[in-house]
Structure 1
Amino acid sequence: MSMETFRLEVHESDGSTGIDADVYDRDNLIRTSARVAYDDHGLESVGDGTQSRIVRETTADVTTLDLQYERDDAGFAFRLLGDRDELLSVRVEDETWGLE
């Protein structure tokens, strides 16, 4: 394998019903993704939707990618793993994103 750049985009889904997280490769193809429904966590969006996009890039030499998320009392953490090592971590705060 060779070094490749990956882009993680975390954004509010259409209709403000949840969060979509997608990992793109250099050809803009989605390599892995995760979806979080607000209903599954007893949340709803009360914000205006303008704050809801985070984009981060990383370069790595990996054979496998895995995108995971976890929830705590104040938000979500999205972790991009490459060959089981953390490549990127992005935090979505309820207050910042207008979630109640």
Structure 2
Amino acid sequence: MKTYRLELRDTTDGIDADLLDEDGLVETSTRIAYEDHGLEPAGDREEPSSTDREVTADVTTLDVQYERDGDGFTVRVLGDREELVTERVEDEEWGLE
């Protein structure tokens, strides 16, 4: 069993979704570009958002996927094609328009 941390970080032009191992090394990642979805950070937003989630699993393959639905993104971590953890990024909470 290994513990992984899903780290979502807001940047000026998108969201970096990294899955880190116990040593802080990136196992897999994906990038969500705001421009691809017609979004941009709100001008009055105070600071970029971020979130972390941990999951423990015994898997051989890992993947980070996302989908756009309604007013946000759903980011999923798959291990051996099974969903391990899901995190929701809402446009309003992250100051996107």
Coarse TM-score class (shorter-chain normalised) = over 0.9
Find 1:55's aligned residue among 52, 55, 58: 52
Residues of 2 paired with 1:96 and 1:7: CA distance? Answer: 21
Contact 1:49 1:97 in 2 (8 A): no
Query: SS of the residue aligned with 2:92?
Result: helix
Partner of 1:70: 67
Partner of 1:4: 2
Find 2:26's aligned residue among 27, 30, 47: 30
Partner of 1:95: 92
Query: SS of the residue aligned with 1:31?
Result: strand
- Residue 37 of structure 1 and its aligned partner are, at CA, apart by 0.8
Residues of 1 paired with 2:36 and 2:14: CA distance? Answer: 9
Misfit runs of 4+, over 6 Å:
none
Gaps in structure 1 of 5+ consecutive residues: none
Normalised to the residue count of structure 2, the TM-score between the two structures is 0.94
Aligned residues: 95
Partner of 2:14: 18
Residues of 1 paired with 2:10 and 2:23: CA distance? Answer: 23
- Residue 60 of structure 1 and its aligned partner are, at CA, apart by 0.3
Counterpart residue type for residue 25 of structure 2 = L
Contact 1:12 1:49 in 2 (8 A): no
